[in-house]
Amino acid sequence: MRELEERTGVNREVIRIMLREGLLPEPVRPARNKAEYDEAHVRGIAAVRELQQSSRMTLREIKAALDGDGLGSTRSGATFTHLDALLGGLFGVDEKPAVEIAALEQRLPQARRDALAFERLGMLRVIDSPGGGALTLGDARLVEIWGAIREAGFVEEAGFPPDNIAFYLDAARTVARREAETFFGNRRIPIGEDDAARMLHIALPLMLDFFGQLRLKSFMQELDRRKAGLAQQA
């Protein structure tokens, strides 16, 4: 525990609360008064602290999100990426069935159809579960966002099936590839693993906002161009 405090900078009483709330995996206990912690605990504590600082989430809110509740709140995409990472640390896997699609269907009647459509497009993966299919927190958020877009009027009957946004996946992969090349390929001085992780935790959410602003600006310019073209035709 002392070493874990030193590695993470988090007080042992706070760590014990995280353990009690189920936010960290249980340590190996070779004896009644001895507990062994590993890198999963270090990563888990870092993920919890990042969520508290970047998303202003309380430990109770983090636990509720891990249980599949409260996904509909106005959290950023980065929040759900951190939550998925935390789940990976908890359960020793990269992806863990966190949200049953059946639970999403209670609020979003088209959730299963959308999830299957997005899986066919390669945007997410439906994970086998006793409840008939589940999604990671990040993937569940994709389905929820699309549900909100449906409510705005972008439905199949109006010509807006999920297939219409398949190009987003290629665009996202292209941007991610260029970002990785920029970060890992153009560094003039070596950066340690911990420093690199810290830089990315800070920069990636900001770059998402930056890209979103550029995209919105470009879209409005495209609308103006099209409206000018229609006016000339008239």
Closest-CA residue to 144 (of 96, 74, 210): 74
Cα 50 to Cα 84: distance, rounded to the nearest angstrom: 13
Those residues whose C-beta lies under 8 Å from the C-beta of residue 215, and which sit 6 or more positions away, are none
pLDDT value of residue 74? 45
Tell me the pLDDT tens digit for each residue of 156-173: 999 999 999 999 999 999
Residues 35, 3 contacting (CB under 8 angstroms): no
Tell me what pLDDT residue 232 has. Answer: 87
d(Cα 197, Cα 183) in Å, to the nearest integer? 11
Q: What tens digit of pLDDT does each residue of 48-107 get?
A: 887 777 677 788 887 777 665 655 454 555 566 556 655 555 545 444 446 889 988 988
Three-class secondary structure of residue 31 per DSSP:
strand
